[in-house]
A and B are shown apart, each in its own frame.
Chain A
Amino acid sequence: MELEFAQPFVRPFLDKISSTPSSSELIIQDFAVIMIIASIMALISYKLKQPMIMAFIIAGMIIGPNTPPFSLITHVEILHVFAEIGIILLLFVIGMEFPIEKLKNVGKKATFIAVAEASGTFMAGFVVTQAMGFTFFDSLFVSLAISVTSTVIIMKVLEELGMIKDEATYLIVGIAVIEDIIIISLLAVLQSVASTGDLTVNEVGMSITLVIAFIVGVIVLGSKIVPRCVNLVGKTEHSELLIIAVLGVAFGLSFVAFKLDISVATGAFFAGVLVAESKMRIATKIIATPIRDMFGALFFISVGALMDIKQLPLFIIPAVILIIVSFSAKFITVWAASRAQRLGKTTSLKTGIGLSSSGGELALVAAKGGADVGATSSFVLPMVGTMTIITTFISPYLIKYGWKLTSRLESKEAGSSGTK
């Protein structure tokens, strides 16, 4: 759909360029524009000590078709593909931090917190949207959309802050991945409810069974096959064979997950988990990281390119209200659930802050899911889009300063207890 509204902007450009003999070389032009603008923005944001994500998103807005003067790139569809590859690689590399052992460690806690968070936020969202006079289905889908947390954005910010080895980080990632799974299954259920009009236990059961079957299948079967194959490839000592093999696994599994109506991100994450089981884990991580960096940047650039800033004023009031609702609901549920799981004060606080900013690509998927089955009013999708724009801008700062504050509290506490 993004392609359609981009067309009028792209058209004059296409026409101008289609007279040159080899149209395929325009890819190089797009790449040149993207890379140069992105590196300039990245350098500026580095100088200003701002999160790198902001640099890429702003670069995307400059490049993209929605901001004046016009689209600087010709192949918008390429950007979509690269964004998709970006999500997969980001989650794949994250997955590599989680061998099955570690996944088991955080799994139970993370599942508990994720369920608490998703249901808490969903209910809070539903109550508030009902109070704001939304229709029943509008409420349902909007609530679902605000329950989403963007795994990709959180991870990127944490990595930039050098927090990737923190205890809270593992927990956050675990929760975010499980939450993704929950949201996607809920979306499937809601969609069938919206189109058939009633809720059958069968359907809910089906989609839950499917998700569990996928995860169990991947872990049980996959951990027998994939690590061995990767070891075999590793024995050839050809790094290019290794990298194409593991990327093949990542893309393949993401595609399978997508086909089963589980998110692409989930597939990619578990592909990373499986590769982490092999002996080649470290080698793979080293060679996958630069590719991830390149496509990760492309992902955030495409997020920026597809943002339509002009929508901002239209839905600003309900969007801000909903952001506040989702923020507080998430923070409270996550914090409470973490405390209930006997996690430390700071860890709970950090986890709460880390997961409290909603939004991200899945929120749009959820909102679009409602529109696709014709259940929601026409304002829902752009409103969720507006929310995503706002939260994408806020989250990096929220996490950064929230965590700094927590660390300060922690050291103060440690200091005061030390003096006692």
Chain B
Amino acid sequence: MAAGIELIGDLGYLLLFSAAIGIIAYILKQPLVLGFLVAGILIGPFGPFSLIKDTTMLTNFSEIAIVLLLFGVGLAFPITQLRNIGKIGAVIAVIEVLAMLGIGFAVGWAFGWSTMDSMFLAAALSISSTAIIVKVLEEMDVIEEPSSMLIIGVLVIEDIIAAVLISTLHSSVLSGAFSFDQMIWEIAKISMFIGGTVALGCLGMPKVFSLLSNIPRYEITILVALGLAFGLSFLSHELGFSAVTGAFLAGVILAGSRFSEDIINLITPIREVFIAIFFVTIGALMDINIIAEYWLPIIIITLVTIVGKTASVYLGVRLFRLGPNNAMGIGLSMAQLGEFSFIVLMVGQDLGATSSFLFPIVGMVVVLSTIFAPFLIKRGTKMLVSY
């Protein structure tokens, strides 16, 4: 009990501190996510206050947070909708990811980093943040616009690609070499997993839900939803994929049911708490001393990310004969990084594949791109309205 209670104390001031910084972020009209990151940097072991020394429990919380995050994203995505924007979203996402992978690797190589570092950098730069972009779009009240739906579609497909990427990176680091066969095999496996889960889920779940619908107990609904989310995450992890894929799929399966509204309402507060802790943890794990040393690569990578993403998404959207304004708008909205970069880097760090400087550098790039994101998205959505 004693150890538990110390953690309660830690959590107490972590939350109070994040709330305080969150209010400052609100007053300065910055996304809350940024506030949480800053709060984490301030109270983390490398920060000036260094209030939190033991980050083990925080990383445990982050694992749960990632599952809840993607579960929530999936919940907002019924399968029918996924099908509607599937094709166009997939093309744009693939173009963007491939372009950023190439650019990222080239940049890493140009800095003279090792192949592994460059590979992880490339992967980290390739995926935009669903959580941050969705949150900004929500805050700006444009989430219902068709262009926002397209953006989210692209983001979600990116998330799936990210799952493949992480799995591929994971296994290629373990096997010691990157192999193309490996990637094809991963894609085949993950498609099978996604197809199988969705098919089974859509066949089996309605029965479970008709059973549940008679139960006026919200706690059972919560437990079942969380059981599905964590169960599928774990299954996906055991099969060698990233846990986030399973979490997302659990959300997608539930999104089709008529409970999705209820579940979203019930899960949202839980999710918000864990996500706040997640971003604080990310901030806390960042060693800001390294940043002073590597300011040049940070700036270069940030610029490359924003320009590269805008350009590649612009190209992708133009392929579908949408107006240049529209394409530019969507491109600008996508020009940032987020939690996936951290997940990729954490995988790299856990496996001991990357150098220690990579995490704080990319972390700082994420922070910078998060600062720019609201401006860019505002810009972007204005362009969209004008067409």
Question: Taking beta carbons and an 8 Å cutoff, which residues of A are in contact with B?
Answer: 21-22, 24-25, 27-29, 31-32, 35-36, 38-39, 42-43, 46, 52, 75, 77-78, 80-81, 83-85, 88, 232-233, 236, 238-241, 243-245, 247-255, 258-259, 264, 287-291, 293-294, 296-297, 365
Kindly state the separation between the CA atoms of A244 and B33 in the bound complex, as whole angstroms.
13
**Cβ contact within 8 Å between A81 and B227:** no
Verify A28–B230 contact, CB threshold 8 A: yes
State which of B5, B14, B16, B224 has its C-beta within 8 Å of the C-beta of A39.
B224
B19 and A251 form a contact (CB under 8 A): no
* B35-52 contact mask (Cβ, 8 Å, vs A): 1 or 0: 000000000000000000
B318 CB to closest chain A CB, in angstroms?
36
A251→B12 contact, CB < 8 A: yes
**Smallest Cβ distance from A54 to chain B, in angstroms?**
14
Q: Is B146 an interface residue (CB 8 A)?
A: no
Nearest-CB residue, chain B, relative to A1: B1
Let me know if A42 and B223 touch, CB within 8 A.
yes
Chain A residues lying within 8 Å of B22, measured Cβ to Cβ, are 236, 238, 240-241, 244
Given contacts A35-B223, A84-B8, A239-B269, 5 further A-B contacts (CB under 8 A): A25-B63, A31-B234, A43-B215, A248-B16, A251-B9
Of chain B, the residue at the smallest CB distance from A364 is: B1
- CB < 8 Å neighbour of B16 from A35, A252, A258: A252
B276 and A240: CB pair below 8 A?
A: yes
The residue of chain B having its C-beta at the shortest distance from the C-beta of A41 within the complex is: B223
Chain A residues contacting B19 (CB-CB under 8 Å) are 233, 241, 244-245, 248
Question: Is B102 an interface residue when CB atoms closer than 8 A count as contact?
Answer: no
Write out, one digit per residue, whether chain B residues 324-350 have a CB within 8 A of any chain A CB (1) or not (0): 000000000000000000000001001
Considering the complex, give the chain B residue whose CB is closest to the CB of A39: B223
Report yes or no: B63 in contact with A264, Cβ–Cβ below 8 A. no
Q: How far is the CA of A85 from the CA of B64 in the complex (A)?
A: 15
Question: Could you give 12 example pairs across A and B, Cβ below 8 Å?
Answer: A22-B350, A25-B63, A27-B60, A29-B234, A32-B234, A43-B211, A81-B8, A236-B26, A241-B22, A241-B26, A245-B19, A264-B5
Task: From B14, B219, B233, B269, give the contact of A287 (CB < 8 A).
Answer: B269
B229 contacts across to A, CB distance below 8 A: 35
CA distance A54 to B302 in the complex (A): 54
Complex: chain A residue closest to B232, CB-CB: A32
Smallest Cβ distance from A51 to chain B, in angstroms?
12
B residues adjacent to A (C-beta < 8 A): 1, 3-5, 7-9, 11-19, 22-23, 26, 32, 57, 59-60, 63-64, 67, 170, 174, 211, 215, 217-220, 222-224, 226-227, 229-231, 233-234, 237, 243, 265-270, 272-273, 275-276, 347, 350-351
A251 contacts B223, C-beta separation under 8 Å: no
Check if A255 sits within 8 Å of B227, measured CB to CB: no
- Bound: A352/B231 CA distance, A: 43
User: Residue among B13, B32, B219, B224 with the most chain A CB within 10 A?
Assistant: B219
CB nearest neighbor in A for B211: A43
Minimum Cβ distance to chain B for residue A359 (Å): 17
Bound-state Cα–Cα, A297 to B222, Å = 10
Give the distance to chain A from B17, nearest Cβ to Cβ, in Å.
8
CA distance A32 to B310 in the complex (A): 39
The 10 residue pairs across chains A and B that have the minimum distance between CB atoms? A248-B15, A251-B12, A248-B16, A252-B12, A35-B227, A245-B19, A240-B272, A255-B9, A32-B230, A39-B223
Contact A290 B57 (CB under 8 A): no
In the complex where A46-B220, A255-B8, A291-B269 touch, is A238 in contact with B231 (Cβ < 8 A)? no
> What are the residues of chain A within 8 A of B59 when measuring CB–CB?
24
**Most chain B beta-carbon neighbours within 10 Å: one of A77, A245, A248, A287:** A248
| A31 engages B273 (CB within 8 Å) | no
B219 adjacent to A42 (CB under 8 Å)? yes
A38→B270 contact, CB < 8 A: no
Does A264 contact B237, Cβ atoms closer than 8 Å?
Answer: no
Give the docked Cα–Cα distance between A50 and B8 (Å): 32
CA distance A31 to B351 in the complex (A): 23
Chain A neighbourhood of B270, CB < 8 A: 290-291, 294
**Cβ–Cβ contact A245 & B64, under 8 A:** no
Whether B227 contacts A88 by the Cβ 8 Å rule is no
Q: Is the CB of B223 within 8 A of A245?
A: no
Question: Across the two chains, which residue of chain B brings its CB closest to A288?
Answer: B269
Measured CB to CB, the closest approach of chain A to B227, in angstroms, equals 4
Contacts of A258 in B (CB 8 A): 5, 8-9
Given A245-B15, A293-B218, verify A255-B272 contact (CB < 8 Å). Answer: no
**Bound-state Cα–Cα, A270 to B262, Å:** 30
Identify A27's interface contact among B64, B219, B226, B267, CB under 8 A. Answer: B64
Contacts of B67 on A, CB cut-off 8 Å? 28, 31
C-alpha gap A80/B7 in the complex (Å): 10
Say yes or no: B231 contacts A252, CB within 8 Å: no
Q: Which residues of B contact A264 (CB under 8 A)?
A: 5, 8
Cross-chain contact of A75 among B60, B243, B267, B351 (Cβ < 8 A): B60
**Looking at the complex, which one of B3, B13, B32, B234 makes contact with A240 (CB distance below 8 Å)?**
B32
Judge whether B16 and A249 touch: CB under 8 Å. yes
Alpha-carbon distance A289/B218, docked complex (angstroms): 10
Q: For A21, give its contact among B32, B174, B231, B272 (CB under 8 Å).
A: B174
Q: What residues of B have a CB within 8 angstroms of the CB of A244 in the complex?
A: 15, 18-19, 22, 272-273, 276
Bound-complex Cα distance A172 to B346 (A): 49
